[in-house]
Amino acid sequence: MKHLLIFLVAAFVLSSCNNQNQQTMHTNDNQELVRQYFEHFNNHDWATMSSMYSENADFKDPSLGQGIVKQSRELIVKKYEELSQIFPDIRDEVVNIYPSGDKHVVVEFISTGTAPDSSSFELPICTIFTIENGLITKDFTYYDNFEE
């Protein structure tokens, strides 16, 4: 009986370590995916960036209106192509990446850009990405969208 108890405890510990290692792997993979995402954003490679999303991802973004909006990869490309026409030098500087479990990554970043009329902006933003099977399925973005 004593040997069985020791075996069960050892099996539980090994299983627990294995699950923790898998979660760490997912967390590292997700953080790397987010780093690549911002690299594609800063290179204005909208097609590659959009391929990082599921075919129809959920977005919560003040620029898309209230609530959750489904966006296809094609709509994502269109949105960012239009944005880069308004701000040709648009760029995001990641301040910090906060992993949250095995499916979520929270990113704090500063978006900057200059319009053709030389007006510019600097906007602190926070996005919560949900990543499943190596693709972004949810992109919930928060920023102060009050105009001065």
What CATH number should be reported for the domain whose range is 2-142? 3.10.450.50
From CA 11, how far away is CA 42, in angstroms rounded?
A: 47
**Tokens standing for 146?**
């009050």
Cα Rg for the chain, rounded, in angstroms? 20
Question: What is the pLDDT at residue 66?
Answer: 87
Q: Which residues pair with 117 in a beta bridge?
A: none
Which residue matches tokens 């075919």? 55
| Residue 110 near residue 123 (C-beta atoms within 8 A) | yes
Give pTM, 2 decimals.
Answer: 0.80
**Tokens standing for 129?**
């990405």
What is the chain's pLDDT, residue by residue, as a tens digit (148 residues)?
Answer: 555 445 544 555 555 555 444 445 567 899 999 999 999 999 999 999 999 999 999 999 998 888 999 999 999 999 999 999 999 999 999 999 999 999 999 999 999 999 999 999 999 999 999 999 999 999 999 998 765 5
Which segments within 19-134 are labelled E, that is strand? Answer: 53-60, 69-72, 91-100, 104-114, 120-132
The set of long-range contacts for 132-138, using a CB threshold of 8 Å and a minimum separation of 24, is: 132/54, 132/103, 134/29, 134/33, 135/52, 135/53, 135/54, 135/57, 136/33, 136/37, 136/52, 136/53, 136/54, 136/57, 137/53, 137/54, 137/57, 137/58, 138/57, 138/58, 138/59, 138/60
Question: What is the pLDDT at residue 3?
Answer: 55
Q: Which amino acid is at 96?
A: N
Question: What is the pLDDT at residue 65?
Answer: 87
